[in-house]
């Protein structure tokens, strides 16, 4: 993604400062000595700034209108809060210029807690959020996670990771195998009860402020397969849970969704299959996105997550005869090519 010219960057900074000053003056009498510091962004076109005065602090989300809109974030913030989910408070926004002034939640994510403490009790608490998210009222700001959407996401892996990054030349039968894979995963995902899903419910999108978990990055919520958010959380691209903990938490995710009446008459064995098939689609898509972030957006920091993400795909594919080819192909052909590319890139 092309960088903004210095002139446009300066112009953007001036508009940003004017918005911040106007809102701080409106919100508080503590108007002196405003500091505005850029902080690490996420895997998107959004930028974030920590805004501080002597007595207060905020986070500014900055989305240049030519790159996207903040409107879905604002509308879905209300939907999630209305449904009992803990989300950051929105203090002010400017849709035309792409600014949102938010509550500052600090810098502690679930990922940080897991790294230090293991996080089991936090996972247990987060699993109770699954039915709350699923039962949110649908909104026109939520797309349907339909066959076209699922197929488009599968293509991200082919186009960006295989084609653009690896320069992979596929065998003659690859396209038919890939099409069968896409069809199988799509049918499995559409056969599940369709509910509201956060779509990126993982360790970097749950923050802890005053020991309470808060959900962020919900602007891409859609209506899709019921087990998708459980997959996102428990087969996290950034954290691999120990096997025993994963097995226990997956069963708890089933119980939470089942007790809420969201699984119809689905038994646990069927849930596991849906979980595995959904995970294969999600992780192929995610691996492709990590390559795209590097090639298109100049963000190499996600490249190390590609191999563990594809290991999830291999683990799941090995369980099903119809997907043995996928596990073998990834392990014998694609993983060695990725390892060579990583050695060059990192």
Answer with the one of 103, 134, 153 that is the final residue of a domain: 103
Domain boundaries, position 68: 6-103
Q: Round to whole Å and give the CA distance between 110 and 203.
A: 5
Identify whether the C-beta of residue 77 lies closer than 8 Å to the C-beta of residue 53. no
Residues 55 and 127 in one domain: no
Residues 179 and 58 in one domain: no
pLDDT at position 45: 77
Residues 241 and 312 in one domain: yes
pLDDT in tens, 113-163: 988 877 789 999 999 999 999 999 999 999 999 999 999 999 999 999 999
Q: Round to whole Å and give the CA distance between 43 and 174.
A: 30
- Count the alpha carbons within 13 Å of 96 in the hemisphere toward its beta carbon: 2
Answer with the one of 55, 88, 103 that is the final residue of a domain: 103
- Highest mean pLDDT among 202-216, 248-262, 332-346 belongs to 248-262
CA distances from 286 to 76, 213, 281, 330 (A): 23, 24, 9, 15
Answer with the one of 50, 73, 103 that is the final residue of a domain: 103
Residues 135 and 261 in one domain: yes
Residue 237 lies in a domain: yes
Residues 139 and 59 in one domain: no
CA dihedral for 117, 118, 120, 125, sign (positive or negative): positive
- What is the pTM (predicted TM-score) of this model? 0.92
Residues 90 and 120 in one domain: no
Residues 148 and 243 in one domain: yes
Residue 1 lies in a domain: no
């Amino acid at each position: 993604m092309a960088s903004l010219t210095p002139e446009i960057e300066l112009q953007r900074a001036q508009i940003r400062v004017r918005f911040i000053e106007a809102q701080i003056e409106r919100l508080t009498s503590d108007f002196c000595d405003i500091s505005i510091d850029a902080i690490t962004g996420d895997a998107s076109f959004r930028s974030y700034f920590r805004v501080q005065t002597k007595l207060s602090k905020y986070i500014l989300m900055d989305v240049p209108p030519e790159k996207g809109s903040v409107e879905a974030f604002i509308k879905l913030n209300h939907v999630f809060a209305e449904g009992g989910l803990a989300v950051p408070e929105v203090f002010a926004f400017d849709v035309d210029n792409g600014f949102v002034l938010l509550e500052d939640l600090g810098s502690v994510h679930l990922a940080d807690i897991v790294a230090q403490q293991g996080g089991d009790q936090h996972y247990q608490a987060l699993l109770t959020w699954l039915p709350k998210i699923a039962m949110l009222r649908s909104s026109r700001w939520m797309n349907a996670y339909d066959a076209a959407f699922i197929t488009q996401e599968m293509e991200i892996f082919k186009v960006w990771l295989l084609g653009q990054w690896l320069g992979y030349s596929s065998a003659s039968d690859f396209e038919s195998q890939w099409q069968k894979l896409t069809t199988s995963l799509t049918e499995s995902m559409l056969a599940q009860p369709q509910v509201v899903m956060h779509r990126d419910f993982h360790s970097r999108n749950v923050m802890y402020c005053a020991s309470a978990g808060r959900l962020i990055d919900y602007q891409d919520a859609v209506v899709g397969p019921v087990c998708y958010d459980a997959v996102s959380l428990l087969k996290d691209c950034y954290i691999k849970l120990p096997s025993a903990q994963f097995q226990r938490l997956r069963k708890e995710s089933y119980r939470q969704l089942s007790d809420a009446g969201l699984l119809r008459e689905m038994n646990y064995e069927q849930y596991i299959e849906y979980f595995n098939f959904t995970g294969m689609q999600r992780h192929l898509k995610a691996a492709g996105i990590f390559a795209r972030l590097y090639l298109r957006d100049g963000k190499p920091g996600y490249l190390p997550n590609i191999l563990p993400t594809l290991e999830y795909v291999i683990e799941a594919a090995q369980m099903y005869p119809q997907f043995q080819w996928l596990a073998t192909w990834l392990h014998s052909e694609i993983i060695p090519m990725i390892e060579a590319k990583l050695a060059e890139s990192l």
